[in-house]
Chains A and B, each alone.
Chain A
């Protein structure tokens, strides 16, 4: 379910509120809307991290995504950094496995180094932002138990509680899922004392190639006062990304054709 880094395939007819949906369907559709739309997709992303003191850091990257097979299962991501200039050509690649730990790679061109990053904990920062790795690739819906706590005019409010609370820093999170687009418009994370400490928001949603697409999303760390905003431009779906782009070989020699505008 969560995040808007990637996009969607949400034919609108699916979202008819006439059906009474059960919570697992809502969660599945939200996950689809946030991560699985189209067979593949790409976007240029501008990441702006603003800390409590108002200091800004920006990162510009291109993200490529390809679904593996049907049915919202495994996926592959390729994140290519353009700026800051001194990390340009750095690549971060993920093979997301719904059934097990993800595979993650980092390519550092200045060190001429491809490193795998152990998947033991996905709730670490994504390149210094307020987003976690897991927010980028999507948390498996099976890791939590979901409960529909409220249905408003526009949203399903779903409370998700981790099955293995020891592995995560939150005790539960609440998603506000839009009833027609199934975009999770807001997600609130609560700590062990029941305090909200982290909040994701879809700040702008556009329809692109028929898919409801988050074109601006943010994550706020309420404790540190830091906020990261992702702005997506030139979003495209179903571009026919070849599978072999998402391999170690392409870390060192980026698939330039797909990374240019």
Chain B
């Protein structure tokens, strides 16, 4: 590929202009369709996707099931608004606060507008707010009453207190709408689509700003966290990425002292990022949480090779005093390592294409592409840029360090000059320490906790974290998961069989007619309609009565398979709820038994001992029909289907950590295994908290496979590069140690293995091997010149080691601005990029020479042979 560099050196202007032109084209390719979508409709506009659910492809069974069940049970993603009053002794249960809450609820209910596919916004009818839920209670003299809990805001303190008392008496509302301590209230605002939550939350905030009093409002819930993250992610990228760029620039300035010269790597990084992101958008991909991190990953990789060139040039120029010769020398020396480092990095990321997670695939593919671009621009634009500088402006460049190979003067050079011989004299100690560290890392890795929680993607102190804490301390939990239970057998078929048998035993002529007709009738409604038609057409009272009796027979038979009206099934579900409460993971669960028990209690004068499941199916059915005389009869269908064939437990969790969700899943499975249900059941989960665990599992296993795959690929490339199995294996040592060490630390400090951490393995692979390639390639070259390793060390720890060390410092430091990001994944990435670079650098400069020292005979002899 030297040809390219030579061409660029010969026609620097052409190449620079080409670089500028390409950038402009890509910028326009994104900007035009985004700003002028109508005129430039042939190109896709920039579209942003902030939904972590899209970590799974939309036809993923768990998502299909989730959306299906949301529809079936009329469930929606919810914004949770918590209201706390810390100054009033009665908390929010005072007339002023309740007036505010009332106003907020009514305001929220009106946040509906006409969208593309019908109305969108808040689903008013399903909202849980005091003015929008029903209270059922005693009204004296054996009277039961359904009323809106808070039809209008109360005027007096007593009335305000009564509202709390009423709500606290209803299991469905206690710890959900009103806090157990009687001080706070939470509104649950269902929305038609998750990506409206940020907008709706802002409108609520604006409304809240007009309220009087000392109420604190906290807005949270997974949809809010996810949508807010998306919005902040872009703000973040707009600040952090340029800041990182600036710091890299300053550090390079420090090392190379020439602003003009270091503009080159900056250009390479910019153009690479522009082309990569441009290609991403222009190929119609959305900018997702993962792909938004592409610039952060491309930048260090792009700068890395350019820094090698500069570093080399910096040292070579004083010798040649001619930029063309110096550039030619540098490019010749670096050509092969740069190509290979780029190939290995691209392979590391490219392997992500084989993970089962679409956004990670896109991420990997485009970074691989970006790495290729960075290589291309490095080998062309950097030489071209240097050639465009006048010899004059290079005057004095590197001069201060002239002859530093013999007399190191900079602290870094001094340190390296000590380090080199140290690895020779203490080779065995270095290796021993490495082995010990490796062991400790292995232990650390065994301690790794796989966990994630989108709310924790916000830094501690972010309003979403604060809200999360406040609300989960007072209420049953803001994280929702839904557990569906259904019979393991096909009840529809069982019903058909049972009806057939029942008709078989009926000797009446109508029963025979119906039996003969049965195969043509699809379901119970068809049977009912048929009988109904026969009743209308009945010739006489006798026939009418016979058909009427058959209608009842069908109905009775059908009722036997409405299994979630069976008292024993409801008790079983109730026992599961009790059991879940004892696990401490679940704040509360709402389910069908709660409704039955509550209504049953109110039917029997509100006495606590009547808070139970009645003993017969008819009694259950009549309790439920009483419930359906309320303002919100359809609340029943959040918990079961009209055929009572399935039931859903709405589970409120105080923690959205995947590990906690996984523990709840295990707990449920343990219960189902240990307690035999009267009718054998199947269980299925849905809800955002659950979905997060599914994509996490895929992420972890997918990442591990892709990592192992790319490890093998990189190893093969190394064996090919060095034409030697041993040298190939040797080059894998620093990255193996680095990855082990990084993940060991993650395990030891108890940092959760989450989305960004998972992706880091690929980054480590790509970057850490780079240093090894540079070090080993130049070591072998130097060894050829110097003969024995002992003499070679000095040369290797001269310019080559400095290039690596500069790289480590420039790029490692360059990413520290991410540490100040308000979004934790960026912090994590920032911290670990720095740590990986630092450790990979150290590993390369300490472990490799130590191994070469110890196995010198073997390594070089083998090669020579």
Contact = CB atoms under 8 A, between A and B. Distances in A.
B642 A51 contact: yes
Contacts of B145: 117-118, 120
B110 interface: yes
Contact of B555 (A84, A120, A124, A127): A84
A226 B124 CA distance: 16
A45 to B, nearest CB: 12
A128 B631 CA distance: 9
A16 to B, nearest CB: 34
Given A128-B633, A166-B152, A108 B626 contact: yes
B621 interface: yes
Nearest to A57: B642
B142 A125 contact: no
A125 B630 contact: yes
A121 B143 CA distance: 13
Nearest to A106: B626
Interface in B640-681: 641-643
Interface stretch (B462-470, B611-619, B683-691, B831-839): B611-619
A116 B141 contact: yes
A84 B621 contact: yes
Q: Is the interface of B mostly helix, strand, loop or mixed?
A: helix
A233 interface: yes
B144 A117 contact: yes
B120 to A, nearest CB: 13
A118 B143 contact: yes
A88 B72 CA distance: 28
Nearest to A81: B625
Given A110-B619, A116-B142, A223-B125, A124 B630 contact: yes
Given A53-B71, A56-B525, A124 B146 contact: yes
Given A46-B532, A88-B552, A127 B603 contact: no
A117 to B, nearest CB: 6
Interface in A243-261: 260-261
B504 interface: no
Contact of B559 (A46, A86, A193): A86
Interface in A125-170: 125-129, 133, 166
Contact of A84 (B110, B548, B559): B559
A80 B491 CA distance: 29
> How many interface residues does chain B have, given as a range?
35 or more
A224 B634 contact: yes
B147 interface: yes
Contact of B622 (A60, A90, A125, A226): A90
Contacts of A125: 628-631, 633
Interface string B551-594: 11001100100100100000000000000000000000000000
A85 B556 CA distance: 5
B148 interface: yes
Contact of A86 (B139, B565, B641): B565
A81 B532 CA distance: 16
Contacts of A55: 641-643
Q: Is the interface of A mostly helix, strand, loop or mixed?
A: mixed
A55 B641 CA distance: 9
B623 interface: yes
Nearest to A58: B528
A204 interface: no
B545 interface: yes
A120 B621 contact: no
Given A111-B619, A117-B144, A117-B145, A133 B629 contact: yes
A120 B626 CA distance: 16
Contacts of A114: 142
Interface string A95-131: 0000000000010111101111110110111111100
B617 A118 contact: no
B717 interface: no
B842 interface: no
A118 B144 contact: yes
Contacts of B144: 115-118
B609 interface: no
B544 interface: yes
Contacts of B541: 261
Nearest to A49: B642
Interface of B: 71-72, 110, 124-125, 134, 139, 141-148, 151-152, 525, 528, 532, 535-536, 541, 544-545, 548, 551-552, 555-556, 559, 562, 565, 600, 603-604, 614, 616-623, 625-626, 628-631, 633-634, 636-637, 641-643
Nearest first, the 9 A-B pairs at minimum CB distance are A128-B628, A110-B618, A118-B145, A86-B621, A110-B619, A118-B139, A125-B633, A85-B555, A116-B143
26 contacts: A51-B642, A55-B642, A56-B525, A56-B642, A58-B525, A60-B551, A85-B552, A85-B559, A90-B625, A108-B622, A110-B614, A110-B622, A111-B600, A111-B614, A111-B623, A115-B603, A115-B626, A116-B144, A118-B146, A128-B629, A166-B152, A193-B110, A223-B124, A224-B125, A224-B634, A233-B535
Interface of A: 46, 51, 53, 55-58, 60, 82-88, 90, 106, 108-111, 113-118, 120-121, 123-129, 133, 166, 193, 223-224, 226, 233, 260-261
Given A108-B603, A124-B134, 16 more contacts: A56-B525, A58-B528, A60-B551, A84-B555, A85-B559, A108-B619, A108-B622, A113-B604, A115-B626, A118-B146, A120-B147, A124-B630, A127-B625, A127-B628, A128-B633, A261-B545
